[in-house]
Amino acid sequence: MDRFNEVSLRFGEELNDDEMNALIEEQGDLQTRIDALGAWELDRKLDIAADALRLPSWNASVQHLSGGERRRVAFCQLLLAGPEMLLLDEPTNHLDAESVAWLERYLEQYPGTVVAVTHDRYFLDNVAGWILELDRGYGIPWEGNYSSWLEQKDQRLEIEEKRNRHGENRSQSNWNGLELIRGLGRQKVRHVCSDLMN
C-alpha cells in the first residue's frame, strides 16, 4: 500500500513519457496485487477486529502484554491473514461475550475451512456445520451443530444398544445351540455304545 501511495504521489511531478508509462504500469501491477489480497479493506478490517477482540492500543509493546492479550493479538493476525484453513484450539478462551459473538459472525462469513477444537458448546451450536466425534479410536462425522450432534448421538447409542442386545441374544442362542448339539452328540455316543455293549 505504501508503494502504491508513493507511485500515486509521483504523478504530480513533472515526468517524461517513459517515466509516466513506467509509473502507470507499476501502479497497475500494484493495484492488481492489492485487489487480489483485499488490501484496500485491510485497515478497516483491522480496526473492526482489533475493537472486537479488545486488543491493546497500537503503541503498546508486545513484551509488556499479558498472555491473554498476546493470544488475542496473534489470533487477530491469524484471522486477518485469511488462510485457506483455520485450525483453532479453544478459540473462545480469553474472549468476552461480545468478542465471542463477533467471532461467531466472522467465522460464518469465512470463505475457507475452519476446524475448531473447543469445549464451548454454545460456540459449537452457533458456528459448527459438522462435528467430528472421536470415540473408541474412530472418527465419527456428524452434520450439524452441537445440539443436533447430541440428538444424533443419542439415536446412534440407542441403535448400538439394540444391536448389542440382539448380538448378546444371538450369541446366547448360538451358545445354547452348541450345547444342544454337544448334548445330542453325547447322547448319541452313549446310545451307540450302549447298543454295542448289548
Per-residue tens of pLDDT for the chain, all 198 residues: 788 888 888 888 888 989 888 888 988 998 888 888 777 777 788 788 888 888 888 888 888 888 888 888 888 888 888 899 999 999 998 889 999 999 999 999 999 999 999 999 999 999 999 998 888 888 889 899 999 999 988 888 888 888 888 765 554 554 544 454 455 555 554 544 454 455
Kindly list the domain boundaries of the chain, sorted by start residue.
1-37, 41-127, 146-198
Q: Report DSSP state, residue 56.
A: P
Whether the Cβ atoms of residue 108 and residue 125 lie closer than 8 Å to each other = no
User: Half-sphere exposure of 62 toward its Cβ, with a 13 Å CA cutoff?
Assistant: 5
pLDDT at 136: 86
Helix 67-81 × helix 42-52 angle, to 10°: 150
Give the pLDDT confidence score for residue 165 in this predicted structure.
Answer: 82
* Crossing angle of the two packed helices 2-10 and 17-37, in degrees rounded to 10: 150
Cα 83 from Cα 94, distance rounded (Å): 22
pLDDT at site 189: 45
Report the C-alpha gap between 176 and 179 in whole angstroms: 5
| Residue among 163, 31, 49 nearest 102 (CA) | 49
Q: Residue 170: its pLDDT value, please?
A: 54
Instruction: Please enumerate in sequence order all residues whose Cβ is within 8 A of that of 142, keeping only pairs 6 or more positions apart, or say none.
Output: 130, 131, 132, 133, 148, 149, 152, 153
What Rg do the C-alpha atoms of the chain give, in angstroms? 34
CB–CB of 40/34 below 8 Å? yes
Contact predicate 140/132, CB 8 Å: yes
Question: What pTM did the predictor assign?
Answer: 0.62
**What class has domain 41-127?**
alpha beta
Closest CA to 78 of 106, 100, 105, 58: 106
Strand partners, 48: none
pLDDT score recorded for residue 179 = 52
Residue 102 cell numbers, joined: 463477533
